[in-house]
Amino acid sequence: MFKNILIPTDGSELSQRAVRTAVELAKIHQARIIGIHVIPDYHLLIAYEGAFDPVTEERIEEEAKARAEKYLAFVRQAAEQAGVPCDTICETSDHPYDAILKNADGRKCDLIVMTSHGRKGLAAVLLGSETRKVLTHTRIPVLVVR
């Protein structure tokens, strides 16, 4: 049924649960998984705050890439242990949901497995929800792991 499953990850414990769920589904369906982590575009934030410092920006980007590699290594390891083919992607975007959707379309994914942090009230309004944005803008089925 599923052949290409996209798994957005933010490295959280909830996200790791979604990775394990997606790997199990991929194994059952003999599918490939594609892990993705989207790094926020810090350049825009730093420039907006008026504190543009190339050294600071470079350090922030390096730290973000190191975290992304750690998150994506978890996806690769889970897939390898289950014998599931896996690719990983790291992108930078000021709209993570958009990068997720573009990669899902570009890689011909037929399922997106992601988590929801379950924020409610003011926290949900202020922080937004990438999961909600993905659900709103995609035609691909999305499995939300809680």
Report the pLDDT averaged over residues 48-76.
84
Question: What is the model's pLDDT at position 121?
Answer: 54
Question: What is the model's pLDDT at position 127?
Answer: 46
Question: What is the model's pLDDT at position 117?
Answer: 72
Name the more confident of 104 and 59. Answer: 104
Report the pLDDT averaged over residues 106-135.
78
Report the pLDDT averaged over residues 91-115.
96
**Residue 42, C-beta contacts closer than 8 angstroms, at least 6 positions apart:** 57, 60, 61, 64
pLDDT(122) > 60: no
pLDDT(134) > 60: yes
pLDDT(29) > 70: yes
Question: What is the model's pLDDT at position 126?
Answer: 46
Name the more confident of 116 and 97. Answer: 97
DSSP code for 82: H
pLDDT(128) > 90: no
Question: What is the model's pLDDT at position 4?
Answer: 98
H-state helical runs in 49-142: 54-82, 96-106, 121-127, 130-137
Class of domain 4-145: alpha beta
Question: What is the model's pLDDT at position 58?
Answer: 83
Longest CA pairwise span in the chain (Å): 51
Q: 72-76 contacts: CB < 8 A, separation 24 or more?
A: 72/9, 72/35, 72/37, 74/9, 74/11, 74/16, 74/19, 75/7, 75/9, 75/19, 75/33, 75/35, 76/35
Report the pLDDT averaged over residues 39-43.
78
Question: How buried is residue 22: exposed, middle or buried, by Cβ count under 10 Å (0-12/13-18/19+)?
Answer: buried
Question: What is the model's pLDDT at position 129?
Answer: 84
